[in-house]
């Protein structure tokens, strides 16, 4: 009898923990989604402003300098790592996906056949050698404006090609077409 009571108590505790974890995941996902949206809106605003004022060659500096600064500021503000990653990086020193991010980006590419990339996201709680983390990624689909610097050889101007070759000698972030997944906004939140 005593063993059954203990088993029932443990089962109830496990269910409560599971429900709490589900609630936490939903809360964390909403917070991460909002942070990703904020990052994308700030970057897009800066990019469009520079594109309209000075054209695509000048706008390269937004992805190069301004976007990482915005992501860094948001990371400090939230106490999480918030950034941009891609399977085809422009700067191998910034934006290289870790194993979890590679897996999610590959899954996004597979999901692209059946889903609108604008709505794609993925979240889970993972245990890594450094501890337990909430991980989130929001897909970043290629839009018309992106093609001026990330498109195929026929959509990228020679001036942009020259600037990219100068600033990014190891660039792999071209050859995209409209609607493909360019990469993702990634959030890594430590759980204590």
Digit-coded pLDDT (tens) for 54-87: 999 999 999 899 999 999 999 999 999 999 999 9
Per-residue confidence band for 16, with pLDDT thresholds at 50, 70 and 90:
very low
25 neighbors 134 (Cβ within 8 angstroms) = yes
Q: What is the Cα–Cα distance from 77 to 42, expressed in whole angstroms?
A: 15
Residues 84-103 pLDDT 10s = 999 999 988 887 999 999 99
Give dist(CA 84, CA 70) in Å, integer.
11
d(CA 57, CA 149): 8
Residues in the chain: 192
Q: Report the pLDDT value the prediction gives residue 21, as an integer from 0 to 100.
A: 65
Q: How far apart are CA 46 and CA 62, in angstroms?
A: 7
Distance of CA 138 to the CA centre of its chain: 5
Identify the band that residue 2 occupies on the pLDDT scale cut at 50, 70 and 90.
Answer: low
Q: What is the DSSP letter of 98?
A: -
pLDDT tens per residue, range 155-187: 999 999 999 999 999 999 999 999 999 999 999
């Amino acid at each position: 009898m005593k063993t059954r009571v203990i088993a029932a108590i443990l089962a109830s505790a496990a269910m409560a923990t599971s429900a709490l974890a589900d609630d936490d995941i939903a809360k964390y996902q909403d917070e991460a989604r909002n942070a990703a949206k904020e990052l994308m809106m700030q970057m897009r605003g800066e990019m469009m402003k520079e594109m309209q004022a000075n054209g695509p060659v000048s706008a390269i500096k937004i992805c190069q300098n301004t976007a990482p600064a915005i992501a860094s500021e948001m990371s400090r503000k939230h106490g999480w790592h918030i950034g941009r990653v891609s399977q085809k990086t422009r700067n191998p020193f910034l934006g290289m996906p870790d194993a979890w991010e590679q897996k999610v980006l590959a899954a996004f590419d597979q999901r692209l056949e059946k889903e609108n990339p604008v709505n794609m996201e993925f979240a889970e709680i993972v245990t890594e050698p450094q501890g337990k983390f909430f991980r989130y990624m929001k897909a970043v689909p290629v839009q018309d404006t992106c093609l001026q610097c990330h498109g195929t050889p026929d959509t990228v101007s020679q001036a942009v090609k020259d600037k990219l070759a100068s600033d990014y000698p190891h660039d792999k972030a071209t050859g995209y077409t409209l609607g493909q997944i360019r990469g993702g906004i990634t959030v890594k939140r430590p759980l204590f």
